[in-house]
Homo-oligomer: A and B are copies of this chain.
Amino acid sequence: MTTAAVKPASMAQALQRAMRDAMAEDPTVHVMGEDVGTLGGVFRVTDGLAKEFGEDRCTDTPLAEAGILGTAVGMAMYGLRPVVEMQFDAFAYPAFEQLISHVARMRNRTRGGMPMPITVRVPYGGGIGGVEHHSDSSEAYYMATPGLHVVTPSTVDDAYGLLRAAIASDDPVVFLEPKRLYWSKATWSPDAPSAVEPIGRAVVRRPGRSATLITYGPSVPVCMEAAEAAASEGWDLEVVDLRSLVPFDDETVCASVRRTGRAVVVHEATGFGGPGGEIAARVTERCFHHLEAPVLRVAGFDIPYPPPMLERHHLPGVDRVLDAVARLQWEAGS
């Protein structure tokens, strides 16, 4: 294997590359959505695919999300492997019935006769100064829907590896792309892309002994930064990047919490009814006697996503993470 020149790549480029490689390897992979063809997507994530593979393989659809996902269901019924783009998080809502009532259930409905190897790409989350409806974190809806996998990368490498795995999966995957990390870079060899990651494995991004930060997607860099800052205050924080919300990697998460005895869940989605509740509850169920303090949550407020000029007050930042860490009852502990 020749080692190609290592150069910086953005998460958007890694995602594009994942689709390109998947399309090249497997003629049943079809990309479809609004503006994914000629334009290459509003975030340029599908840039060049229509040119390389033709409009039948990378298709600008009519503007109708239920129609996009609904026709993808039919295409999957016939053996294709559709990769559907929802232009923004909030614009996936019109496709909700198709997602819940069909995509998530078709395999089960047909006793395995009709699997749904569909990847639904959803750019999600805030922090990009988007106006209303352009910054939702909608993962709680998907997590509460049995039959779906829910995956979200936080690094350029994972963006490639997880999207390849999602497309290769015989089950539907809601693939949540953290918008504000699209332009994050890594030195990356586009000629030797990173490994395809199995779906369902969390990863320890930073080992630590004092407490565990459990997080995913756009909040991973926030937690890494918080862990650095905490180090100077004497806390050695472990950061677990979930990568997959469904299936959930109980093993990795609980191993970490049992080791540290304390945990904070961090995400951008609203706190109430958000992913953190499930995560905190299952960690507590499994690690109760290892916990020195309740598992705390740092999340978006329980409000509609704010306008751009106020979003910084809503988004969980380093300070809020550190505040939560400080509230982990250190005085009482071991």
A302 close to B146 (CB less than 8 A): yes
Check: A278 CB closer than 8 A to any chain B CB. yes
Check: A168 CB closer than 8 A to any chain B CB. no
Check: A183 CB closer than 8 A to any chain B CB. no
Check: A200 CB closer than 8 A to any chain B CB. no
What residues of B have a CB within 8 angstroms of the CB of A117 in the complex?
A: none
Name the contact of A294 in the complex, choosing from B133, B284, B297 (C-beta under 8 A): B284
Say whether, besides A146-B302, A303-B146, A272 and B284 are in contact (CB < 8 Å). Answer: no
Would you give the 0/1 interface string for A254-284, flagging 1 where the beta carbon is closer than 8 Å to chain B?
A: 0000000000000001101111111111101
Nearest neighbor of A286 in chain B, beta-carbon distance? B294
What interface size band does chain A fall in? 35 or more
* Interchain CA distance A279-B275 in the complex, whole Å: 12
Residue of A90, A269, A294 contacting most chain B CB atoms (<10 Å): A294
Which of A51-59, A95-103, A169-177, A214-222 binds B?
A: A95-103
Which of A104-112, A118-126, A158-166 binds B?
A: A104-112
What residues of B have a CB within 8 angstroms of the CB of A94 in the complex?
A: 66, 96-97
Nearest neighbor of A99 in chain B, beta-carbon distance? B93
B96 close to A144 (CB less than 8 A): no
A277 close to B282 (CB less than 8 A): yes
* Interchain CA distance A293-B287 in the complex, whole Å: 11
A100 close to B108 (CB less than 8 A): no
Check: A182 CB closer than 8 A to any chain B CB. no
Check: A317 CB closer than 8 A to any chain B CB. no
Check: A143 CB closer than 8 A to any chain B CB. yes
Check: A304 CB closer than 8 A to any chain B CB. yes
Say whether, besides A96-B93, A141-B144, A302-B146, A278 and B272 are in contact (CB < 8 Å). Answer: yes
* Interchain CA distance A281-B291 in the complex, whole Å: 13
B275 close to A246 (CB less than 8 A): no
Check: A251 CB closer than 8 A to any chain B CB. no
Would you give the 0/1 interface string for A126-159, flagging 1 where the beta carbon is closer than 8 Å to chain B?
A: 0000001100000011011111000000000000
Check: A288 CB closer than 8 A to any chain B CB. yes
A294 close to B303 (CB less than 8 A): no
Nearest neighbor of A282 in chain B, beta-carbon distance? B277
Say whether, besides A281-B280, A303-B108, A133 and B101 are in contact (CB < 8 Å). Answer: yes
What residues of B have a CB within 8 angstroms of the CB of A140 in the complex?
A: 140-141, 144, 273
Check: A11 CB closer than 8 A to any chain B CB. no
Check: A285 CB closer than 8 A to any chain B CB. yes
Would you give the 0/1 interface string for A64-92, flagging 1 where the beta carbon is closer than 8 Å to chain B?
A: 00100000000000000000000000100
Question: B-contacting residues of A (Cβ < 8 Å)?
Answer: 66, 90, 93-94, 96-97, 100-101, 104-105, 108-109, 132-133, 140-141, 143-147, 246, 248, 269-270, 272-282, 284-285, 288, 291, 293-297, 302-304
A-B contact pairs, 27 of them (CB 8 A): A66-B94, A93-B101, A94-B97, A104-B304, A108-B304, A140-B140, A140-B141, A140-B144, A140-B273, A141-B144, A143-B272, A143-B273, A144-B270, A145-B273, A146-B272, A146-B303, A146-B304, A147-B304, A246-B272, A246-B273, A273-B275, A276-B281, A277-B281, A280-B280, A280-B284, A281-B284, A284-B295
